[in-house]
Chain A
Amino acid sequence: MKTFRGYIPWFILTVAILFLPTVVASPYVIGIMVFVALYGVLAIGMGLLMGHAGLFSLVHPTWFGLGAYVAGILSSRGLTSPLLGIVAAAIFVAIIAYIIGAPVLKLRGLYLACATFGILIIAQIAFVQLDDLTGGHSGLLGIPALQIGGFKFKKDIHYYYLSWGLCIASLLFCFNVIRSRIGRAIISSHDSEPASASLGVNIPKYRLQVFILTAVMASLSGSVFCFYLRFAAPGIFGFDLLVEIILMAVIGGLGTIWAPLLGSFILTWLHELLKAYLGQLFPVMTGEVTAVFFGVFIILVLIFMPRGLAGWIEQLFIFCSRTYKQFRSPESR
């Protein structure tokens, strides 16, 4: 019975995703929902790192960018098929994440954040400087459409199903990861490192594994992103994206796997609303202007809602079920 009830949210989510395009046919909504899913994958990874593992790694947008660039470069030069490009990008990112993570994850707290922030900026400089490969400031152009077997991904709706497939898969994957040996190990090490280390948990190993797994998730999302936009530019994968991902994870609530996806949904739509309504107010409307509103939002959430929306919803649920029980059995009070 309990397992059955556990499947209900998945069932609702899948049905909602499957039937959204038939209810709302507008390509605009479908296009935005693609971004919700892709940023959602990033935010879920960031939430797993920050909330469960306690690793404040700021290098997450770089994995997204590397996934986009490697898959984009390989397929735009005709070296591999797009699908193979995605796989190659994921493997490449896994290797790089291993090389970077193995030494860097030895650092603690703030120093880990500083070092990973440095890597983020170095990567952005590299995207600009290696302009033979990446196209520099003007970006990577000429990425072909994604093709798997004989099927060509042309319309928004194709990418919609692909990206939400990826998103739900990574959500399921993360749920299973935190219930696995790795997950229990990182959660226990986040709660008390000396205690879990003295019980024989190999903390560095599990931390590195989680780091690489989330990097690969971000890379897959980045590859789909570049095939959807047919474009990649260094500015996309920088500081602004980092602020947004952190915001998604924090607004959703840390310590819950599904909450960052909710954060991604809210933020991406808020982004669109801001763009639509504030575009007339301000002459310059770039990511940096919306970042002002997101910044205010982040601060308000951290001050007034430290556990995010997930904590708020949880309290609402507890309140509702308590009232419901009281309503059902008044004599047992």
Chain B
Amino acid sequence: MVGFWEFQHMTPLALVIQYIISGMTSGSIYAMVGLCWSIVFLVTGILNFGTGEFVMLGGMFTWVLLEAGLGLAPAVLMAVFATVLVGIIMERLVIRPVRFPSETTFMVITIASASILKGMILIACGSETRAIEPLIPAKQFSILGAVITSQTLLVLGVLAVITVGLSLFLNRTLLGKALRATAINPNGASLVGIRIRSLIVFCFGLAGGLGAVAGIVIAPITFTGYNIGLMAGMKGLVAAIVGGWTMTGTVVAGLGLGLLEGLFGGFVSPGWKDAIALLVMILFLLYRAIVSSQGVKKV
């Protein structure tokens, strides 16, 4: 990402494009995180507030492994693997043993797990902001005066790969079809012999892996730290809710949200940028509630 001081001598058009590029970059991350929320929510009905922490874990694990002297590729792979493991352990340790499952219980439990993960990273790695080295050689391209770096292209590329890969997986493979069947009707799915318990484990692992990838590709651009999880998670939740928990919807909503935020942060106020996403979510939920209550009245 170019420094703020370089924005001084840009034409207005270039400035708009620059904000759009940076908005798309964060939007891709929101889309990926949104996919993590919706995978878990659709199959289990649980809002996993640990999702944002998976993003943080991906970045921080990579930083730790790089500090330990590993090469870039093994560090990234091991960080993703470790986060998948965290997701699976979380499901086994705190989600499964709950005796009286209810929405509230799961929500409190995942919020608590999120603060545990966050605090453990704080204890282990300290509170400083961490940067990891660029994943691919740094290059800059110019579009109408705006600058786009190779890292930004990588983020967009990873989102594209994840979206295509996930939709192929969900539509073409047996496991993917089983996941969709469970999302539609868990009882019916278990009647035809789908083992829901192991699918739930799989979902948490998948969410952990996707979140970690998102955290790793964004880490060279915006840096990482123990406390990025809350905001990253909330933006992803907004994308998933506004996108209606569908895959395409989530990706579109995530990118749109990123654009809105980039332009708002650039032209209106960078400080209030984070509030915009949450405001969008609240307004969307209210709009939906009002529309659905009117629908009931008509019937």
Contact = CB atoms under 8 A, between A and B. Distances in A.
Contact of B289 (A56, A107, A129, A302): A107
30 contacts: A104-B286, A106-B286, A108-B289, A109-B103, A113-B104, A114-B241, A114-B281, A115-B281, A115-B286, A118-B282, A121-B274, A122-B275, A125-B271, A125-B272, A125-B274, A128-B271, A129-B271, A282-B123, A288-B119, A289-B123, A290-B119, A291-B115, A291-B118, A292-B119, A292-B120, A295-B113, A298-B109, A299-B94, A299-B113, A303-B97
A119 interface: yes
B293 interface: yes
A26 to B, nearest CB: 30
Interface residues of A, number: 45
Contacts of B226: 288
Given A115-B282, A115-B286, A121-B234, A294 B47 contact: no
A117 B116 CA distance: 19
A42 interface: no
Closest 5 CB pairs of A and B: A292-B119, A118-B278, A295-B116, A298-B112, A295-B112
B9 to A, nearest CB: 28
A118 B286 contact: no
A111 interface: yes
Given A56-B104, A114-B237, A117-B234, A104 B111 contact: no
Interface of A: 50, 56, 103-104, 106-111, 113-115, 117-119, 121-122, 125-126, 128-129, 239-240, 243, 246-247, 250, 282-284, 286, 288-292, 294-296, 298-299, 302-303, 306
Interface of B: 47, 94, 97-100, 103-105, 107-109, 111-116, 118-120, 122-123, 126-127, 226-227, 230, 234, 237-238, 241, 269, 271-272, 274-275, 278-279, 281-282, 285-286, 289-290, 293
Contacts, number: 127
Given A107-B286, A114-B285, A239-B230, A284 B275 contact: no
A126 B116 contact: no
A284 B122 contact: yes
A299 B112 contact: yes
B119 A291 contact: yes
Contact of B123 (A50, A122, A284, A296): A284
A288 B114 CA distance: 11
Contact of B293 (A106, A289, A299, A306): A106
A103 B227 CA distance: 31
Nearest to A54: B104
Given A104-B282, A239-B230, A243-B111, A289 B94 contact: no
A292 B115 contact: yes
B285 A294 contact: no
A50 B99 CA distance: 19
A262 to B, nearest CB: 18
Given A118-B282, A289-B123, A302 B98 contact: yes
B100 A306 contact: yes
Contacts of B271: 125, 128-129
Nearest to A291: B115
A56 B107 contact: yes
Given A114-B47, A243-B115, A288-B115, A126 B275 contact: yes
